[in-house]
Structure 1
Amino acid sequence: MGLFGFGKKKAKDDAVVDDEVKADDELAEDTEPEGGESVDGIVVLPEPSAFYEGRGETRGPWDVNDEDVPDYDDYLDLGAYYLPFLKGIELRIKANRSSKQILGATITYGSSSLEIEAFAAPKSMGLWDEVRADLLEANSTASEAEGVFGTELKLPVHVKGGRTVTTRIVGVDGPRWMLRGIFSGKAAVDADADETEALNRFFADIVVERGEEPLAPRDLIPMHPPVSPAERKAAKAKAEGEEGENADDKHLKNIPDQPKGPFDQDQQTEVKTTLSRGPMFSEIR
């Protein structure tokens, strides 16, 4: 089942428990339809068919404060999250047409793409189950599927030219944030494809920085224009030389045109092309 082997049991010692769970699932098949059911207009979700366990311990997406967070000094800094290196990818930035505020990023790799958005979430609970229920309620063609990131959604989307493409939507809850990924192309339909494995790993290697700014649940975490590792290191060295403090800060505090406050994800957007520096991203013309 792809990168992390979800769908397989994690230990032989759990075999007895797993058999009991399987038996319970078989008994529940007649009463729990796939993709949830609507009762008085409210979607009732079935129990997730798989769980994404180990985030922050053995796998990501990561939080900057996780004990085992990977070294992200060479990642591309977008404010809300840091993007890892993957040779051969292209990066597009989604921005508000009028304010030019950045709302998200899309990675293209081969015939596949991955749209990435980071949302603020409540302190006491995750956000993905709630978002998943809303998507199921709003889209009658959406369905649940077991994937490498736990319970994922399959959602057909109509595009220009009358075509319909299938997207794979995943959500991972972190401390006070949720990272959502929308996969399309081969990475949405072929679990064993090389592109799928590469983008799954790319998504899992992202490092999220929620920040301390008060944000309502579902607000997009503020982003800024891409800052390369070289630019970040140069700014850090300059700050150390001028002020002699904040030497351990990995994240720039004075980004040009850095927006303040939460974003509205419903705003009209345009896609901007970002030129890369060095081997981090291939150049788009």
Structure 2
Amino acid sequence: MGLFGFGKKKHQDDAVAEPAAEEDKAVAEDAAPAEPVYPTEPSAVYEGRGESYGPWDVADEDVIDYDAHLDLGAYYLPFLQGIGLRIKANRATNQILGATITYGTSGLEIEAFAAPKTMGLWDDVRADLLEGNAAATEQPGVFGTELMLPVTVKGGKTLRTRIVGVDGPRWMLRGIFSGKAAVLPDDPETLALNRFFADIVVDRGSDPLAPRDLIPMHPPVAPAARKAAKAAAEGAADGKEHLDSIPDKPTGPFDSDQQVEVKTTLSRGPMFSEVR
């Protein structure tokens, strides 16, 4: 899987095409893999989600292969060399509220919300943010209409943020970009985090949730641990429970191939987390 986790389509048919001529086979084998489709032009609408590009839903027919993504329950995060990951949690309840990615001098706060079955949520959320923040402005972006919102941080400094929202089937994924990724559209950090956001795979689940509820999350599960757990489950299904009695069998959690730093916050706003 590539730098941003782009790979084969998850639901791609495994059927083999009809045999081709030898020279056609040679051309096909030597051909480089196609570059992933990614929106780069600002627009007032975000069309093609789930068909040409993400953020994806786990049930999308053309969803990318997310086996190498980091599982956080509500969504799967792709791999990007050089990122930092901070998990937001409520100190009183230990409930995980979201994740924040840092990359260079930029940041990306990610939250997934439940949405109505028959309509999207981002238009209403954006209208609420505009009404509650006189300094907020709308503009077209690579994920459709987005908001520019100045935020006053500790020490009185004003931080400009770029807020995007993408509607999926019964969910909305919101990203709050800061640093260069908020104000410099062509900066490498902006392009990298845009692609990172576009390659997130959302898992809404089947539990009943009210619109604007956060989709439940769990602590990060790395790809290696997820693969090992799946193999163990398949082994049990094949009647290999006797393997549990092997002498000196290692115990404890599986080794993780990705470490994360877990921090907590005392509280959060209903629809916007302060940048501190």
The one-letter code sitting in structure 2 at the alignment partner of 1:98 is A
Over aligned residues, Cα RMSD in angstroms? 1.9
Letter in 2 for 1:205: D
Matched, 1:126 2:120: yes
Residues 113, 183 of structure 1: 8 Å contact kept: yes
1-structure distance, mates of 2:238, 2:142: 45
Give 1 or 2 for the bigger CA radius of gyration. 2
- Unaligned 5+ segments in structure 1 are 8-48, 246-275
Moved over 3 A (4+): 280-285
- Give the aligned length: 211
Percentage of identical aligned residues: 74
Name the residue aligned to 1:148.
142
The whole-number CA distance in structure 1 between the counterparts of 2:65 and 2:203 is 14
**3-state SS of 1:234 partner:** helix
Distance 2:188 2:262 in 1: 22
Equivalent position amino acid for 2:194 in 1: N
Check 1:96–1:244 CA distance in 2 against 1; reply closer, same or farther (3 A cut): farther
Which stretches in structure 2 are left out of the alignment for 5+ residues?
1-37, 240-254, 264-276
Equivalent residues in 2 for 1:1-285 (5 A)?
A: 4-7=39-42, 50-244=44-238, 277-278=256-257, 280=258
* 1:54 to 1:88, Cα distance in 2 relative to 1, 3 A: same
Q: TM-score, normalised by structure 2?
A: 0.73
AA aligned opposite 1:97: R
Question: 1:197-252: per-residue Cα shift (whole Å, max 9, x none)?
Answer: 0000000000000000000000000000000000001111111112349xxxxxxx
Q: Is the contact made by 1:89 and 1:281 (CA closer than 8 Å) also made in structure 2? A: no
In structure 2, relative to structure 1, the CA distance for the partners of 1:284 and 1:118 (3 Å cut) is closer
1:122 match: secondary structure: coil
- CA shift, 1:184, in A, is 0.3
3-state DSSP of counterpart to 1:238: helix
* Structure 2 counterpart of 1:80, one-letter code: A
In 2, distance between residues paired with 1:5 and 1:100?
Answer: 38
Q: 1:6 Cα deviation (Å)?
A: 2.2
TM-score for both structures, normalised by structure 1: 0.71
Change (3 A) 1:97 1:217: same
Structure 1 counterpart of 2:169, which letter?
Answer: P
Residue in structure 1 matched with residue 266 of structure 2 by the alignment: none
Q: Quote the Cα distance in structure 2 between the aligned partners of 1:51 and 1:157.
A: 25
The 8 Å contact of residues 152 and 171 in structure 1, kept in 2 or not, is answered as: yes
Change (3 A) 1:90 1:277: farther
